[in-house]
């Protein structure tokens, strides 16, 4: 939401459909550089008017051979501005110079880590000869066109991973330097900004909270805003930041959906009291949530049903307060996965994105990621009880009953299991090291033996992951004795027969099962 209208953007990011586009911007913020994201259609006019010091072409899911593949205005190449093409951005730069230089993938895509050998280049200064990087592409560049020099390869020199055309100020990488799995500590993006574009640091964390407060107050004017608070980091931090400047114009409430964690309502009340948020608790809709969502086992339909009732509650609350605006704690990650983040494709529906209520929406956190909101919480002095809470999806435990219709009984099984796993992880002093813990019930009944009798029961799966921004994740592997303790504890429930553990990375797996 922050438009930084008084700041001169130094780097323009042209969004070509990558799920990682916002991560490029986040990485530049981390390096203290302002940037702006625009579609290809809006980029040329903006560049001529604002004269940025550099342009980054994002990756994307399309092939340069697709009929409707994203096209960057070719006039940009004649403006003598340094350009860094990432993934699809590299393929496009290669393709417009030599249409036979890009190899079209016939089947599958390349996802995962790749060992890359680097040659001497300003782009790679201060990096070792070899680095581990993250690959996520279909097409690939098979030869350097005229004027380009290969500066990085993989697979013993067989695959081109980066090129440069210094005199044209063009630089390209096939991998993703913006994601945390690329082990370069943001050096590549910093080299592009500083050594190639001559950017100066102009973004400072201490200014962010004041910018959020001032911009939100400006957008709200004399109106009244409602904000749904879940007790999680995002909505609670946002409500705490805004309460001092909005006062009675801000109406905060919590919806008890029936899919909350154990003792969640009391914990949220405690957090709200400490954060000095005047919070209203709404409980009369939880049976409606359970009844409606039990009608399907399809993950996307469950999210849509949840969103439907969630929106209904918002309308009632807005009416009761004569609200004019709705403030959301929506993050960049939510918008990207909902297909609302620029040109990126839909991954899953988020309950609080594009609700289409008769209210003006304000999303002060829509440029930011989870770890950045945690930093805001620290800067604002929120206590560790809030900052170290693990994320929890808006639809809650409804997304953790997988493959069978949701019932109050199954929700209670998952609720208790989630609490037991949390206690065990805390006892072993590893809970705070895990970015997110997911305990889900799988609708796959299997045979087991309890006592002297045959039983036929449910399975639980425990998923522990670590990440910085939740755009990419890797498994957080638990020690054998911890897995054994979790298993022996969970199978004590008479209806649980098996316990599985899942440490699949993202991609291909999303954080939650649904």
Domain boundaries, the chain: 11-196, 212-384, 407-502
Cα-based distances in Å from 455 to 412, 445, 458, 486: 20, 10, 10, 20
- The CA R_g of the chain, rounded to the nearest whole Å, is 24
pLDDT single digits (tens) 221-279: 999 999 998 877 888 899 999 999 999 999 999 999 999 999 989 988 888 888 788 89
CATH number (2.40.40.20, 3.40.50.620, 3.30.365.10, 3.20.20.70) of 212-384 reads: 3.40.50.620
Give how far Cα 86 sits from Cα of 59, 68, 137, 174, 306, Å. 5, 19, 10, 6, 37
Q: Which residues are annotated as a binding site for ATP?
A: 230-236
CA dist 255 and 309 (Å) reads 11
Q: Which residue has the higher pLDDT, 56 or 382?
A: 56
Q: Write out pLDDT tens, residues 471-509.
A: 889 999 999 999 999 999 999 999 999 999 999 999 889
For range 413-432, the mean pLDDT: 97
Class of domain 11-196: alpha beta
Please, what is the Cα angle at 355 between 351 and 358, to 5 degrees?
Answer: 150
Choosing from 87, 161, 325, 372, the catalytic residue is 87
DSSP sequence for 387-409: HTPPP--TTGGGGGEESS---HH
User: Is 4's pLDDT higher than 70?
Assistant: no
Angle between helices 208-220 and 370-379 (to 10 degrees): 100
CA–CA separation, 171 vs 450, rounded Å? 63
Q: Is 178 a catalytic residue?
A: yes
- Considering only residues 152 and 372, tell me which one the structure prediction assigns the higher pLDDT: 152
Give the confidence band of 413 by pLDDT, cuts at 50, 70, 90: very high
pLDDT digits (tens, 9 = 90+) for 70-120: 999 999 999 999 999 999 999 999 999 998 889 876 554 666 789 999 999
CATH topology match: 11-196 vs 407-502: no
- In this prediction, residue 383 carries a pLDDT of 64
Beta bridge partners of 159: 154
Q: Which two tokens stand for residue 178?
A: 């913006």
The class that CATH gives domain 407-502 is: alpha beta
Strand-pairing partners, residue 11, are 35, 54
Q: One of 34, 137, 161, 178 is an active-site residue; which one?
A: 178
Q: Crossing angle for the helix pair 286-293 and 299-321, nearest 10 degrees? A: 150
pLDDT for 13: 97
Q: In this model, does residue 348 exceed pLDDT 50?
A: no
CA distance 513 to 353: 19
- 362-406 residue pLDDT tens: 999 988 888 888 888 888 777 666 766 788 888 999 999 999 999
Residue 369: predicted pLDDT: 85
Does 176 participate in catalysis according to the annotation? yes
Q: Determine which of 4-8, 42-46, 61-65, 287-291 has the lowest per-residue pLDDT on average.
A: 4-8
Q: Are 110 and 153 in contact (CB under 8 A)?
A: no
Q: What is the mean pLDDT of the chain?
A: 89
Per residue, the 3-state secondary structure of 344-359, as one string, reads CCCCCCCCCCCCCCCC
Q: Which of 176, 325, 350, 351 is catalytic?
A: 176
State residue 470's pLDDT score: 85
The verdict on whether omega for the bond into residue 270 sits within 30 degrees of 0, i.e. cis, is: no
**Which stretches within 294-380 are classed as H helix?**
299-321, 332-337, 370-379
**DSSP-derived 3-state class of residue 377:** helix
Element (H, E) at 110: strand 110-118
Query: Do 16 and 343 form a contact (C-beta atoms < 8 A)?
Result: yes
Query: Residues 6 or more apart from 407 whose CB is under 8 A from it?
Result: 290, 294, 401
More confident residue, 38 or 369: 38
Q: Strand, helix or coil at 142?
A: coil
261, 397 contact by CB (below 8 A)? yes
Reply yes or no on whether the pLDDT at 345 is more than 90: no
pLDDT of residue 344: 43
Contact between 175 and 116 under an 8 Å Cβ cutoff? The reply is yes
Mode of pairing for the β-strands spanning 130-137 and 159-165? unpaired
Distance from C-alpha of 195 to C-alpha of 375, rounded to nearest angstrom: 28
Residue ranges at the known binding site: 230-236
Q: Give the pLDDT score at 331.
A: 85
Nearest CA-CA partner of 179 in 86, 90, 89: 86
């Amino acid at each position: 939401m922050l438009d930084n209208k008084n700041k001169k953007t130094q780097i323009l990011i042209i969004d070509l459909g990558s799920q990682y586009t916002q991560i490029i911007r986040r990485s530049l913020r981390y390096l203290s550089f302002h940037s702006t994201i625009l579609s290809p259609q809006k980029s040329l006019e903006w560049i001529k008017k604002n004269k940025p010091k550099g342009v980054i072409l994002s990756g994307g899911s399309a092939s340069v051979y697709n009929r409707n593949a994203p096209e960057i205005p070719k006039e940009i190449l004649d403006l003598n501005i340094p350009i860094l093409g990432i993934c699809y951005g590299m393929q496009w730069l290669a393709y417009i110079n030599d249409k036979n230089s890009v190899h079209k993938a016939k089947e599958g895509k390349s996802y995962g880590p790749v060992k890359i050998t680097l040659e001497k280049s300003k782009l790679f200064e201060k990096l070792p000869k070899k680095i581990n990087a993250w690959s996520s592409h279909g097409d690939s560049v098979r030869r350097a066109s005229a004027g380009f020099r290969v500066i990085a390869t993989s697979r013993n020199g067989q695959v081109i991973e980066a090129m440069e055309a210094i005199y044209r100020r063009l630089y390209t990488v096939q991998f993703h330097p913006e994601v945390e799995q690329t082990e370069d500590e943001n050096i590549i993006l910093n080299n592009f900004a500083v050594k190639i574009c001559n950017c100066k640091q102009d973004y400072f964390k201490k200014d962010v909270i004041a910018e959020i407060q001032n911009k939100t107050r400006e957008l709200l004017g004399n109106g009244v805003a409602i904000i749904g608070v879940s007790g999680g980091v995002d909505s609670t931090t946002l409500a705490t930041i805004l309460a001092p400047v909005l006062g009675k114009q801000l109406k905060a409430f919590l919806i008890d959906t029936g899919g909350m964690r154990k003792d969640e309502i009391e914990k949220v009340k405690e957090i709200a009291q400490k954060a000095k948020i005047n919070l209203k608790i709404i409980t009369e809709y939880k049976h409606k949530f359970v009844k409606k969502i039990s009608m399907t086992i399809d993950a996307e339909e469950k999210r849509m049903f949840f969103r439907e009732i969630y929106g209904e509650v918002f309308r009632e609350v807005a009416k009761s307060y004569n609200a004019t605006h709705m403030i959301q704690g929506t993050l960049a990650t939510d918008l990207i996965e909902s297909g609302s983040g620029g040109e990126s494709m839909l991954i899953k529906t988020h309950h609080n994105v594009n609700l289409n209520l008769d209210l003006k929406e304000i999303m002060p956190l829509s440029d930011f990621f989870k770890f950045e909101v945690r930093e805001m919480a620290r800067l604002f002095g929120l206590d560790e009880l809030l900052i170290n809470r693990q994320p929890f999806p808006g639809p809650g435990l409804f997304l953790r009953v997988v493959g069978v219709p949701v019932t109050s009984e199954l929700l209670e099984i998952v609720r208790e299991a989630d609490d037991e796993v949390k206690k065990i992880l805390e006892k072993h002093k590893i809970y705070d090291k895990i970015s997110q813990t997911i305990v889900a019930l799988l609708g796959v009944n299997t045979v087991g033996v309890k006592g002297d009798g045959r039983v036929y029961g449910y399975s639980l799966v425990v998923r522990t992951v670590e990440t910085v921004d939740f755009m990419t994740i890797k498994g957080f592997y638990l020690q054998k004795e911890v897995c054994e303790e979790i298993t022996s504890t969970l199978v004590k429930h008479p209806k649980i027969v098996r316990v599985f553990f899942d440490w699949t990375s993202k991609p291909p797996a999303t954080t939650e099962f649904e």
